[in-house]
Copies of this chain bind each other. A is one copy, B any other.
Amino acid sequence: MKIVVDMPEWIEQEMSRRPSVYPELADRIKLVVEFSRLNVVHDTGGPFGAGVFELETGKLVSIAVNRVVPCSVSCAHAEFGALALAQQKLGTFDLGGAGLPAHQLVVNWRPCTMCYGSVIWSGVRSLALAGSGKAVEEITGFDEGPIADDWIEELNRRGIEVHDNQDREAALEVFRLFRDSGKLVYNARLG
């Protein structure tokens, strides 16, 4: 008995012609937003991308996209993919463990209720987002679930810094592309 969540083949092809290190946060954001867009273009999942980077150097550890529908796993959000790929690559459940450099999770939008919790358990020290708020729900119809208003403060209290609104307009453009493509919104019981 095992669960397998795979990433689409185009990710490796895309990464083979891109840098493996992203010193600037703006370039990390650009990468995950571009992967959220490519996931719509390739029809390989929802409009979400996430990456785990070494916080200081910007070395890319893992990159992932939403795989809920193709993999039949409602938990296979981009954040889950990026965190689990990074953890299995490094051989630890704790990206903040002893002997490891600090890690940053970069996402094209604020994590949903579930992924908010997964960020806390992952051991990352930093969370960077292209944007946050209701716009994703208004444009796409996705449900993000109940999130407490103090989500940034709660993450800060737990030693996780938050960089929000790093490129809101670029993220929204992908959500509009997804909406206009008429693809499946995969809320449980289809909303």
Contact = CB atoms under 8 A, between A and B. Distances in A.
Contact of A72 (B3, B64, B69, B92): B92
Interface in A89-119: 90-97, 112-118
A93 B66 CA distance: 12
B96 A72 contact: no
Q: How large is the interface on A (under 10, 10 to 19, 20 to 34, 35 or more residues)?
A: 35 or more
Copies of this chain, tallied across the complex = 2
Given A69-B93, A94-B186, A85 B117 contact: no
A111 to B, nearest CB: 9
A11 interface: yes
Contacts of A69: 93
A39 interface: no
Contact of A188 (B76, B121, B154): B121
A72 B91 contact: yes
A156 to B, nearest CB: 13
A87 interface: yes
Given A7-B1, A93-B186, A115-B117, A74 B85 contact: no
A133 B34 CA distance: 42
A116 B187 CA distance: 15
Contacts of A83: 74-75
A80 interface: yes
A6 interface: yes
A81 interface: yes
A123 B6 CA distance: 22
Top 3 nearest A-B pairs (CB, nearest first) are A114-B117, A113-B117, A2-B6
